[in-house]
Structure 1
Amino acid sequence: MIEVTQGNSPIVLGLPHTGTDIPSDVSACLNDTGRAMADTDWHIHQLYSDLGLDLTRVRTPIHRYVIDVNRAPDDVSLYPGLNTTGLCPLTDFDGDAIYHDGKEPDDREIARRKALYHQPYHAALAAELERVRDKYGVAILYDCHSIRSVIPYLFDDTLPDFNIGTNSSRSCAASVEKSVHTRCRAATSYSCVLNGRFKGGFTTRHYGRPEENIHAIQMELAQSTYLDETPPWIYREDKAARLRPILYRILNDLSELIYERQLR
């Protein structure tokens, strides 16, 4: 069920939110808002495909409304005091309910979804990070995300194009953070921020252990950089053609840090 593509690179791409599969029993409980799946990281797996870097990819096809694999299994809030969504979300990013009244998942159902979907994703991700670290002595987890650029329920104003999260510089070496931030700042037609509204989800915070030679960084792209931000969420080849070379350079720079032994 979890899609794993093994590459020959020190970088592992995490793809937790591109899936659109919703099992029929869950779909029956969702209202029209939930079935619209507006909060999908639309086309992210396509955007990062065939970049020519032979990257390992770990992706779940299950939609985040079923269970969000980028949330902690105990559902602790990643951003205390701010609006957000949980392990098995009850609302969308606009704060609107996604379930029919009385059809929300109970503790037993949440435990079932964790066993079926959350645990297998992280087992696969952990295995690939260990495999890559065994080969290179170090692994970099690059967690791929995107979100609509304007969501008043979650953040003020318009989101920057590149939102880099390193758990306030704790999830990776300084050279990893600097490499990505420098490359994004050099792309002068785009805006960027480091550890702004998005500092990294559970995946970045959990796996980012520089002292154990696993470095993690989250990239949250504003969806305006590569698609139309309204249904049917059309992938814009013209926009993607401008963005993809920058993504290539970001990931290539990270690979070079390891190949040239400059990661510190």
Structure 2
Amino acid sequence: MNPKVPFVFNSPHSGRFYPIDFIESSRLDQKEIRSSEDAFVDHLYRSAVEFGAPFITAHFPRVYLDVNREPFELDPKMFEGRLPSYVNTRSLRVAGGLGTIARIVNENKEIYRHRLSVEEGLKRIEDLYRPYHMAIRSTLARVRELFGVAVLIDCHSMPSTTQSRGAPIHSDFILGDRFGTSCNPAITNAAADLLTDLGFSVGRNLPYAGGFITEHYGRPEKNIHALQIEINRALYMDEKAHVPSEQFPLVRRVLTRFIGQLTSIDLGHTGSQPLAAE
């Protein structure tokens, strides 16, 4: 599409098309294997295209390949054979079982019945990860070329309770800008103010400050900003049944209003001083 606004929306974790061979290799049932999805987030934000913003979405699920990781964060214990020397096997995310190809889903449930071949792992990265990030890079470059500035809105969802202790998450939204390093704080402030004015409670950076995509693409000094937005799943879905709730249409309408207001913010020519929404 031809961008009409200096914003790019991205939903990397809402994919729900599971390869048959992957399902057959997993020890999890359908409910368990889908528990890590940012369920229906692509539907919540799809009105972005109506306002002229490109919207990039992953159709494959994060449990199959997580594009919000470095390209080669892989756990050697998951694979038959030796991984290439350039693979990052020591990251905290790999240690936690949540690398580029995850070993577990929520509550430390092992995904696979058996080890994967190294070739299978590298093929997923080559066929899916590389094209996805090429799409992000090229779209941001095109938007910045057109407007002098680009803002990536990375769209995610969060469970309504913390996984470790089951404590409720009190915020409706959490904005992550890597503690002010991936996005001009004025843009983060504008997004927070708009959501607050729409009646939502908004937190910042804790417990979600933004993942690899936010950190990697957010370069305010180069007029490319990246802001992660987490929405509380309790607002719009039945988390146990994994279906949209009765509130889903209302939340989507309110988010459409938010997207329209956010994308109308005047970022100026340099992206350094966002102005009020039009």
User: TM-score over 0.5 for the alignment?
Assistant: yes
What CA RMSD, in Å, does the superposition of the two structures yield over aligned residues?
A: 2.6
Aligned counterparts of 2:57 and 2:101: Cα–Cα separation in 1: 18
When normalised by structure 2's length, the TM-score is: 0.82
Contact 2:14–2:37 (Cα < 8 Å) also in 1: yes
Identity percentage of aligned residues: 27
Name the CA distance, whole Å, in 1 between partners of 2:91 and 2:248: 31
Deviates more, 1:175-184 or 1:81-90: 81-90
Cα 1:66/1:80, change in 2 over 3 Å = closer
Q: Does 1:89 align with 2:98?
A: no
Indicate yes or no: 2:222 matched with 1:226.
no
Q: Structure 2 stretches of 5 or more lacking a match?
A: 74-87, 274-278
Is 2:235–2:247's contact at 8 Å kept on the other side of the alignment?
no
2:212 maps to which of 179, 198, 202? 202
2:10 to 2, 10, 14: 14
Shift of 1:173: 0.9
Contact 1:40 1:63 in 2 (8 A): yes
Paired residue for 2:145, among 109, 134, 146? 134
Hey, what does 1:23 align to over in structure 2?
Answer: 19
Provide structure 1 residue ranges, at least 5 long, that are not aligned to the other structure.
none
Per-residue CA shift, 1:114-166, capped at 9, x if unaligned? 1011111000111111111110010000001112212423x762222101100
Whether the 8 Å CA contact 2:195–2:258 is kept in 1: the answer is no
1:148 alignment partner AA: P
Aligned residues of 1:225 and 1:243 also touching (Cα < 8 A): no
Which has the greater radius of gyration?
Answer: 2
Q: More displaced, 239-248 or 12-21?
A: 239-248
Contact 1:85 1:93 in 2 (8 A): no
1:121 aligns with 2:117: no
Q: How many residues align?
A: 255
C-alpha change, 1:110 and 1:25, in structure 2 (3 Å) is: same
Equivalent in the alignment of 1:42: 39
1:68 deviation in Å? 0.3
* TM-score, normalization by structure 1: 0.86
Kept after mapping to 1: 8 A contact 2:68/2:213: yes
Secondary structure of the 2:174 match is strand
